[in-house]
């Protein structure tokens, strides 16, 4: 059997691409469904869930490149004629389904890959080329959009596959023709040339994708899913130094990949009066709304009862004296998370320009000290170390 297509039959390369694509699709889709439904309440369960998701993503990325190669090959090859060109409606539907399949084989893994690159979370892609994509930033809105598009395009793909299989079986069982057999190894079956408009099915496929995107928008699948966890409302504080802007972020390592997040709502009550010599220069009290955390694809897990347990402990409190020594500033006090109070010392850098202060600091914590993730007693799935980074600009008031 020749490698290339002819005007009437498919070659061995096209057939290989076809059945390799079938294998990849029927591996990736079940893996994604099973992984989505799996619980992750223990270290072992989380490891299995991550394993299945990693396999799903890796197979998906493989399918993406196979689809590109298949399309590139198809563009260079003649399209074998159909067996029943006189059946206009049937031929149009078959071409429409083929366009939907080709497009979805690119769109489904591509949107999944962009979602993976734009968010933080577990389950890396198994390859040596990194987890990010050029020009794709870490962005929760982008992650939510591409996650929704991934679902929408996957549904289009599944419906297209069902129609494709149904059509092949109809030809094989009812019509008893060679439509299915012509894709089998070694089988050659000639078709009849058809002069029908080839652009109409492609235009119809584009219309189907646009309609599917619109339905997804109506269903709200492109927005970040709201968690059911409570989000504490914080009272406004009166402070000698009023925070003008700032960030409170954290990072850890899960399954070998860094996971980054931040708290949106927090308050800082700062009493600070720089003076000559070492000792206490003031104090600070920070209250954090735990429910305002975003931590990529693992946000809901982090807020759950095995981790921050936001339903029972909606806030965290950091109270410290602002100390100065010859080697710089430290905030020495306690941090209360999940009702567990732990002594901490945070070095920080401070720049004063008139009535404006810029501060940056990092606190290295051990999650075990706060009974966070006790169901993951080792670092094979989740690191013990958690870095908390703070940066703020504050202005003196009432002077």
- What number of residues does the chain have? 399
Single out the residue in 159, 189, 219 at which a domain terminates: 219
The whole-angstrom separation of Cα 42 and Cα 373 is 9
* Per-residue pLDDT tens over the stretch 239-288: 999 999 999 999 999 888 889 999 999 999 999 998 888 899 999 999 99
Is pLDDT at 81 greater than 80 in this prediction? no
- What percentage of the chain has pLDDT greater than the value 70? 95
For 22, the domain range is 12-219
Residue 96 has pLDDT above 60, yes or no: yes
Rg of the chain over CA atoms, in angstroms?
29
Q: Determine how many CB atoms are found less than 10 A away from the CB of residue 366.
A: 12
pLDDT of residue 187: 66
Burial class (CB in 10 A: 0-12, 13-18, 19+), 378: exposed
pLDDT in tens, 42-51: 778 888 998 9
Decide which of 155, 188, 219 is a domain's last residue.
Answer: 219
Regarding predicted confidence, which is higher, 391 or 124?
391
Quote the number of domains for the chain. Answer: 2
**What is the tens place of the pLDDT at every residue in 155-176?**
999 999 999 999 999 988 998 8
Residue 231 in domain: no
Q: Does one domain contain both 309 and 246?
A: yes
With 70 as the cut, is the pLDDT of residue 191 above it? no
If we measure between CA atoms, which residue out of 76, 75, 77, 94 comes closest to residue 85?
94
**Segment 340-383, tens digit of pLDDT:** 999 999 999 999 999 999 999 999 999 999 999 988 888 888 89
Could you tell me if 51 and 255 are in contact, meaning their C-beta atoms sit under 8 angstroms apart? no
Report yes or no on 150 lying in a domain: yes
Cα gap 352→274, rounded to integer Å? 10
Token pair, residue 162, equals 């069902």
The Cα–Cα gap between 93 and 88 comes to: 9
Q: What is the per-residue pLDDT for 190?
A: 59
Separation CA 371–CA 384 (nearest Å): 11
């Amino acid at each position: 059997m020749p490698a290339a297509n002819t005007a009437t039959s498919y070659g061995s390369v096209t057939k290989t691409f076809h059945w390799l694509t079938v294998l990849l699709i029927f591996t990736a889709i079940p893996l994604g469904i099973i992984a989505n439904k799996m619980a992750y309440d223990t270290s072992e369960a989380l490891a299995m869930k991550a394993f299945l998701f990693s396999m799903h993503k890796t197979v998906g990325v493989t399918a993406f490149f196979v689809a590109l190669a298949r399309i590139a090959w198809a563009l260079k090859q003649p399209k074998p004629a159909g067996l029943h060109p006189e059946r206009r409606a049937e031929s149009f539907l078959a071409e429409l389904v083929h366009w939907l399949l080709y497009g979805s084989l690119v769109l489904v893994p591509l949107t999944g890959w962009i979602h993976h690159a734009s968010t933080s979370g577990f389950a890396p892609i198994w390859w040596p080329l990194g987890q990010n994509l050029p020009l794709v930033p870490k962005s929760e809105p982008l992650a939510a959009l591409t996650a929704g598009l991934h679902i929408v395009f996957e549904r289009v793909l599944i419906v297209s596959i069902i129609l494709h299989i149904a059509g092949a079986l109809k030809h094989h069982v009812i019509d008893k023709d060679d439509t299915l057999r012509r894709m089998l190894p070694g089988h050659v079956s000639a078709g009849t040339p058809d002069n029908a408009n080839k652009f109409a099915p492609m235009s119809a496929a584009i219309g189907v994708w646009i309609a599917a995107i619109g339905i997804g928008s109506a269903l709200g699948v492109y927005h970040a899913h709201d968690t059911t966890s409570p989000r504490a409302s914080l009272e406004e504080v009166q402070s000698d130094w009023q925070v003008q802007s700032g960030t409170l972020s954290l990072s850890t390592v899960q399954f070998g990949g860094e996971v980054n997040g931040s708290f949106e709502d927090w308050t800082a009550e700062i009493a600070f009066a720089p003076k000559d010599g070492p000792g206490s220069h003031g104090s600070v009290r920070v209250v954090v709304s735990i429910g305002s955390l975003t931590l990529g694809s693992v946000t809901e897990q982090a807020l759950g009862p095995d981790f921050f347990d936001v339903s029972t402990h909606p806030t965290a409190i950091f109270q410290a004296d602002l100390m100065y020594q010859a080697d710089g500033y430290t905030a020495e006090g306690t941090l209360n998370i999940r009702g567990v109070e732990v002594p901490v010392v945070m070095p920080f850098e401070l720049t004063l320009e008139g009535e404006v202060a810029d501060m940056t600091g990092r606190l290295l914590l051990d999650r075990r000290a706060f009974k966070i993730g006790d169901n993951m007693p080792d670092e094979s799935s989740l690191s013990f170390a958690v870095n908390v980074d703070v940066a703020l600009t504050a202005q003196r008031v009432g002077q």
